[in-house]
Amino acid sequence: MNAPEKVPAGPEPHVMHTYGRLPIALSHGRGCWVWDTDGKKYLDGLGGIAVNTLGHAHPKLVPALQDQIAKLIHSSNYYLVPLQEQLAAKLCELSGLANVFFCSTGLEANEAALKIARKFGHDKGIERPEIIVYEKAFHGRSIATLSATGNEKVQVGFEPLVEGFVRVPLNDFAAVEKVARTNPNVVAVFLEVIQGEGGINQTRADYLRQLRALCDRQGWLLMLDEVQCGLGRTGKWFAHQWAGIVPDVMPLAKGLGSGVPIGAIVVGEKAKNVLGPGNHGTTFGGNPLAMRAGVETLRIMEEDGLLANAERVGAALKAGLQRELAGVAGVVEVRGQGLMLGVVLDRPCGAVLTRALDAGLLLSVTADNVIRLLPPLILTQAEADEIVAKLVPVVRQFLAEGGAP
């Protein structure tokens, strides 16, 4: 006798259960607001995890994408794609770097950075090149980027990890100097300027300047992962620009296409000739639709002054949260820069996700105890004030109840 057919649990029986989803589905958005399929309205404090630079249904972006879709979505890299050169030229202008390779995600951009570093080492005669990476870092979930990531929880079950990484604490220059003295196989330093998944941990400006000088002395590549913190989120085009330095390799993604999948690896003179024909490639990377999304995103950001807006509104949002949460037992600090902020609590706070949802606010919790805010760069002062008004009571009540779910 056949066993009865098992009824799948949950609303997505045919989708792999790799995400801990919240129990809503979003139907549409406008600006910094989204609506679920039941008609409830939410203020988007997450921006698709730093992706929706221009918010939702931007009146300048939508017609541009509609125009491109009606012309050409994808061709292939067998042929010239003029929009690639247009976007690459703009990224080089903004960064002071030399060349760009386009892909589709931040993981792919970081993977390309690792390949560049390894080949850079081999070209110098180093048989087993090694790369300095960081505790609490996150660079992606492929086997190589997972190995570079500094989070054992996401690595468990995927061993053996890729070799060739030397891990150090963030902002500890003595640790990097020690590696420089003792390991002749190192070819690059790879880090996020602000660690996103790791808990909104900022790399100090003086530390970045020390790394730049050390890499110059050692002949290493300085590779700065700006996938989450780049593209205007801190008030400059790239977060490392606050330190007044220029990297050799810079992976980008997330906000570059305002929701259209896109990634880029931007390189300077030291790295621009490392990869040649046949060394790297992609099917979808650099497709006309993604390139148009990137070109239009950067254009609109400039036209609408979104870097200045991110700096100004982000500072006000941070100050508002600090003011309203000052002296609240269980709040450690509010940290971050621009519109990349974290409210750090003294205990795990995953339960805040659903409580914020009930209050009409989208956000995330990362590193177990950090409430992360990554709203669109079009966020207004009034909307920042509303984030404070929605989030502060949620945090206060959660802590007053002893952090119970």
Catalytic residues: 138, 225, 254
Cα dist from 235 to 229, 240, 304, 339, whole Å = 10, 11, 13, 8
Half-sphere exposure of 17 (CA within 13 A, CB side): 8
For residue 307, give the amino acid letter. Answer: L
Cα dist from 177 to 133, 172, 181, 294, 379, whole Å = 13, 9, 6, 38, 41
Cα dist from 226 to 97, 196, 216, 255, 382, whole Å = 14, 10, 20, 10, 28
Rounded Cα–Cα distance for residues 173 and 180 (Å): 11
Number of H helices, E strands in the chain: 12, 17
For residue 380, give the amino acid letter. Answer: T
The DSSP bridge pattern shows strands 186-192 and 221-225 to be parallel
Q: Structure tokens of 11?
A: 């609303």
Nearest partner of 110 among 265, 246, 255, 229, judged by Cα:
265
